[in-house]
Structure 1
Amino acid sequence: MDWLKEHPEVRTIRVAAADLNGVARGKRIPARFASKVFSEGTRFPFSVMNLDIWGEDIEESPLVFETGDCDGLLRPTERGFMPMPWLEAPTALLPIWMFHMDGRPYSGDPRQALARVKDRYTEKGLTPVVATELEFFLIDDSGTKLRVPPSPRSGKRRTGGEILSLRALDAFDGFFTALYEACEVMDIPADTAISEAGPGQFEINLMHQADPLKAADDTWLFKMLVKGLARQHGFAASFMAKPYDLWSGNGMHTHFSILDQNGENIFNDGTEKGSDALRSAVAGCLAALPGSTLIFAPHQNSYTRLVPNAHAPTGIGWAYENRTAALRIPSSGPAARRIEHRVAGGDVNPYLMIAAILGAALVGLEDKMVPDEPIVGNAYAQYLPQLPATWNLAINQFDSCPLIKRIFEEELIENFLMTKRQEIHYMAELSEEEQTELYLDTV
């Protein structure tokens, strides 16, 4: 509450939690009643954490009519208040997460799922260190066809991809300046920005955090910020996996290492190859990939990104310093030895994504798994086991994967399956243009 006292200009707050699709669900509350959220929490139905991408109830969910659509209790996370710089009126956001009325964490909450994985690491005296890289498009969606917005500086539209182009960044200097200023006041550790391969496509890296919950919070909040701030500047920003058929899509790469009780990186053995623990974590991630693809590619549009020769992995393999592989071990000093997980699209729920990656790595460590030899050369040209190529196949493999059951609790698995099966049913009624309109702002 001290933050609100220091910002008397804030008259309203938003309380918000991430549902299974990563969509913010919550309420608007006058600032003078904010103390009640801390003392008593707030409530909304358990079913709200399990809505489909349209924001509709899941028709077969026991959370709706079977239980009388009963409420869960939502309490503030450790993040506390932060400003919402993309709104005109001074407003504060208070992230919340869901519990049962008796104080037990609600297992259908994706943030609680990540907290459970984090706790398993803590029990073993281990600390995951996580960073994300987020790709997104700036888009003019005011007409019937998506295109890059005109530069506020020159009024011109950039018609092609310009990888690592300073000109492309400078064309939207006002937006990026405002974005970095907003990240500063929201405590989002935004680092390097680059232009990417698509028209109006950019990537921003978030700094490593020795707390996977903080890393996921940063990622979720950053997506919300970028989309809101872009609208403030007169265009859209989208993290959907592939808004343009002819260009590469948006990825969300995750880098992670693991520290022991002494703060030493267990992936480091002083060599470029890394330790046995690194290889076991790699093996766990690879073993879980068929089942966890639904987490990394949760939507119909996601599978248009996961195609050969489009800067997104399709084969299940790993390599040193090779961006065609699903898992890459980047070049680094020994102390920074880490794994880069390259499968997820920008359209994911960050909490589920990081939980799936760290959970799979932990399974690999627990079972002392050993991966196949790292690949060399172009992964697309090699005979590798393949990721599920369709949404329906990914749903089925998520349902049957024993490793998923070691990472996530049964209620979350069932809720996520019901959500995706309802979405795949109703998505068949939409044209490609209608799907794009749906995903552009929601994911």
Structure 2
Amino acid sequence: MFSMMFHSRLLAENYAPPTVTFAQEAKAYLREHPETEFIDIYLYDCHGRPRGKKIGVEALLSLEEGCYFPLSLYATEIDGQIVHAGDDALSAIEPDRLCLPVPGTLKPCAKDPKRYAQLQLSMREQDGAPCPLEPRVILQRVLNTFHQRGLYPVIAPEMEFYLSETPEETAADAWPFFQIDGAPSIAALLADIERHAGLQTRGLTGIVAEAGSGQYELNFRHTDDPLAACDNVLAMKRLIRQLAQAHHHSATFMAKPHSDKAGSGMHFHISLNNARGENLFAGPPEALPEIMLHAMAGVLALMPASLALIAPNVNAWRRLRPMLATPRFSGWGHNNRATAIRVPCSSPKARRFEYRLAGADANPYLVVATLLAAMLYGLDKAPGLPPADAAPPPLPTNQPHALMLFALSPWLREQLGDDFARLWLTSKREALARFEHEVTEAEKAWRL
């Protein structure tokens, strides 16, 4: 359903060489930043963590030919251990793969923008094709399917996080809910975050004090470039950690860093444009367009299996579990933050829905790829949307159940790539087994 004619814009986006070579981009950057001495070069692993190394500025131009990192980078767990996925190429041989600069990602680094720059890379297969295990590549593949139909997703991320003084937060420094004037130490840090986000052109539109004491939310502008939006989300995590440390604070993007405070989410507002840039979701709230209803129905239908990627670790389930006990959470609603899918207040032409399931710890490339894959399912299969504020079937309440459902979801596995799906399932099951093997300090304190 809703298949559209192939649009020539796809060729321009995905097959045409960049209009500016990396050498030209690098020379222009160095003219603007002549004091640059070092560049952090990195890829994002499956957990959204940057992994790479520091090089001297004299080696920057040589990156046009690429550099090499091990393929096993995508088989690492959060703690850096390599997952034994039954694939010698990952766990034993650890072959290197060519990595090339991502155009437009050479930016000043927040830790010292005069002397340090940063550059994102993307891995290639031996035949030069994009690496199918790379989350950014997975998102690009799903986006290509939309573009082939003349559909162009528009997204706007929101991400929550906590700031605290090192090592303990002081109540005086925490800003109350939607407070705009706060303690000088936090005000200076937030101002620095906004300044450096501007230097890196991250599309940040504001920082809001959230419900939890010491919790804040980043708001990003709407864009029809979801890849760049996810690049910006991950870059902002690194930027905030660097600046928090410089201000003698710590920052955490854990989904549930405090048992007695609100968890931190990563929400995405999403709509679909046609090739002319018109919002296909536009319409009054009482008469949402059919394409929007089908898209939301697909997201709800695949939500149980999607949780395997949206809630990637034990801590993520600590955030979700209280919400999963709410009957309406697995449904959708108008202007209702108690549901996983919210249709927010807006003008008819700005109509969109908000996907509220993911935590701040999730990999945004995988969250958006999973969300879009589920929307495609709705457009193709038309599963039927339950009434607003209804109580659909409950979602899984634990990680093993969600992993099992993902393993049994041929649609998601095909859209995200079966090689990636196998690696993800092995990685998550192995990490969960290691976690459950550990005896916690709370257990030791029982003194049984």
Same fold flag (TM > 0.5): yes
Q: Relative to 1, partners in 2 of residues 1:93 and 1:433: Cα closer, same or farther, differing over 3 Å?
A: farther
Q: Which residue of 2 aligns with 1:148?
A: 169
1:78 partnered with 2:92:
no
In structure 2, how many angstroms separate the alpha carbons of the residues matched to 1:313 and 1:206? 30
Contact 1:242/1:248 (8 A) holds in 2 = yes
Q: Relative to 1, partners in 2 of residues 1:413 and 1:141: Cα closer, same or farther, differing over 3 Å?
A: farther
Contact 1:135/1:204 (8 A) holds in 2 = yes
Q: After superposing the two structures, state which structure 1 stretch, 332-341 or 390-399, moved more.
A: 390-399
Q: CA deviation at 1:166?
A: 2.3
1:19 partnered with 2:45:
yes
Deviations 1:91-139 (A, max 9, x none): 1111111111321111000000000011111101111101111100002
Contact 2:386/2:392 (8 A) holds in 1 = no
1:402 partnered with 2:410:
yes
3-state SS, counterpart of residue 217 of structure 2: strand
**Count of paired positions:** 416
The code of the aligned residue for 2:148 comes to E
3-state SS, counterpart of residue 10 of structure 1: coil
In structure 2, how many angstroms separate the alpha carbons of the residues matched to 1:19 and 1:312? 33
Q: Which residue of 1 aligns with 2:80?
A: 55
1:134 partnered with 2:159:
yes
* TM-score, length of structure 2 as denominator length: 0.88
Contact 1:163/1:195 (8 A) holds in 2 = yes
In structure 1, how many angstroms separate the alpha carbons of the residues matched to 2:380 and 2:85? 36
In structure 2, how many angstroms separate the alpha carbons of the residues matched to 1:347 and 1:25? 16
3-state SS, counterpart of residue 233 of structure 2: helix
Q: Which residue of 1 aligns with 2:55?
A: 29
Consecutive unaligned residues of structure 1, counting only runs of 5 or more, are: 151-155, 377-382, 435-443
Q: Give the superposed CA RMSD.
A: 2.2
Contact 1:46/1:63 (8 A) holds in 2 = no
In structure 1, how many angstroms separate the alpha carbons of the residues matched to 2:326 and 2:37? 44
Q: CA deviation at 1:7?
A: 1.3
Residue 220 of structure 1, aligned match among 228, 234, 238: 234
3-state SS, counterpart of residue 127 of structure 2: coil
Q: CA deviation at 1:6?
A: 2.4
Structure-to-structure mapping, 1:272-291, within 5 angstroms: 272-291=286-305
In structure 2, how many angstroms separate the alpha carbons of the residues matched to 1:214 and 1:334? 26
Q: CA deviation at 1:364?
A: 0.9
Residue 357 of structure 1, aligned match among 356, 366, 371: 371
Q: Which residue of 1 aligns with 2:195?
A: 181
Q: Relative to 1, partners in 2 of residues 1:61 and 1:86: Cα closer, same or farther, differing over 3 Å?
A: farther
Contact 2:108/2:114 (8 A) holds in 1 = no
Q: CA deviation at 1:287?
A: 1.0
In structure 1, how many angstroms separate the alpha carbons of the residues matched to 2:431 and 2:337? 32
Residue 140 of structure 2, aligned match among 115, 132, 146: 115
Q: After superposing the two structures, state which structure 1 stretch, 347-356 or 406-415, moved more.
A: 406-415
Structure-to-structure mapping, 1:83-122, within 5 angstroms: 83-87=108-112, 90-122=115-147
Q: Which residue of 2 aligns with 1:380?
A: none
Q: CA deviation at 1:35?
A: 1.1
In structure 1, how many angstroms separate the alpha carbons of the residues matched to 2:112 and 2:151? 40
Contact 2:82/2:91 (8 A) holds in 1 = no
The code of the aligned residue for 1:366 comes to D
3-state SS, counterpart of residue 330 of structure 2: coil
Q: CA deviation at 1:65?
A: 6.2
Residue 386 of structure 1, aligned match among 380, 394, 403: 394
The code of the aligned residue for 1:130 comes to I
Q: CA deviation at 1:86?
A: 2.3
In structure 1, how many angstroms separate the alpha carbons of the residues matched to 2:202 and 2:289? 31
3-state SS, counterpart of residue 60 of structure 1: coil
In structure 1, how many angstroms separate the alpha carbons of the residues matched to 2:320 and 2:144? 32
1:424 partnered with 2:446:
no
Contact 1:127/1:260 (8 A) holds in 2 = yes
Q: CA deviation at 1:307?
A: 2.9
Contact 1:63/1:70 (8 A) holds in 2 = no
In structure 1, how many angstroms separate the alpha carbons of the residues matched to 2:238 and 2:228? 15
Structure-to-structure mapping, 1:197-276, within 5 angstroms: 197-270=211-284, 272-276=286-290
3-state SS, counterpart of residue 283 of structure 1: helix
* TM-score, length of structure 1 as denominator length: 0.89
Q: CA deviation at 1:402?
A: 2.5
3-state SS, counterpart of residue 428 of structure 1: helix
In structure 1, how many angstroms separate the alpha carbons of the residues matched to 2:81 and 2:113? 29
